[in-house]
């Protein structure tokens, strides 16, 4: 998000710590109205205090359709038009491919890939109608180069790369922008 987009509303998933936490605070400092989302709002209390009235904590589990619907309703009830989405929520399942359970692989993809798809699908209709918006997907360098014992995580981030490439081209005609960030 850029300073000239300031004053617009942005939803940041996984905002309780790390990149999501820093992103929410930085966006608020640059004038954005921020909805800082996490599974537990307890970790988000300092956001509201530090966000100069620009940060609203909301409960959100990106793996739950009901939670996504409730979060989107909270944004709608605020009266703010959602301009941006930072898909940052994620988990890291580690271990050798041979020994990592298929259930753990599913949990990894449910959060890091399908959660991004669900959130993106939730915001796109309004963004498309407004003919503006930006989606930022937080990937990882592990989406390109995967270290041993990081197969599940790296695979999910590699899938996010493909998803982002497709989405970028699909929404460009509607005036929407999609970016991928590769920390690490």
Of these residues, 153, 156, 159, 178, which one is catalytic?
A: 153
- Catalytic annotation present for 153: yes
Three-state SS letters, the chain:
CCHHHCCCEEEECCCCCHHHHHHHHHHHHCCCEEEEEECCHHHHHHHHHHCCCCEEEEECCCCCHHHHHHHHHHHHHHCCCEEEEEECCCCCCCECCCCCCHHHHHHHHHHHHHHHHHHHHHHHHHHHHHCCEEEEEECCHHHCCCCCCEHHHHHHHHHHHHHHHHHHHHHHHHCEEEEEECCC
As annotated, the active-site residues are 153
């Amino acid at each position: 998000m850029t300073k000239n987009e300031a004053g617009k509303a942005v939803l940041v998933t996984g905002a309780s710590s790390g990149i999501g936490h820093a992103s929410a605070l930085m966006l608020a400092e640059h004038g954005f109205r921020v909805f800082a989302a996490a599974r537990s709002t307890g970790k988000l209390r300092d956001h509201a205090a530090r966000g100069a009235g620009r940060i609203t904590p909301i409960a959100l589990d990106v793996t739950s359709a009901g939670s996504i619907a409730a979060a989107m309703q909270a944004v709608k009830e605020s009266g703010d038009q959602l301009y941006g989405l930072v898909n940052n929520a994620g988990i890291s399942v580690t271990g050798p491919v041979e020994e990592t359970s298929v259930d753990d692989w599913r949990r990894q993809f449910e959060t890091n890939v399908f959660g991004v798809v669900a959130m993106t699908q939730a915001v796109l209709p309004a963004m498309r109608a407004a003919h503006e918006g930006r989606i930022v997907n937080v990937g990882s360098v592990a989406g390109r180069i995967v270290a041993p014992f990081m197969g599940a995580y790296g695979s999910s981030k590699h899938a996010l790369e493909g998803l982002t490439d497709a989405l970028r081209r699909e929404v460009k005609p509607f005036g929407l922008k999609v970016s991928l960030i590769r920390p690490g």
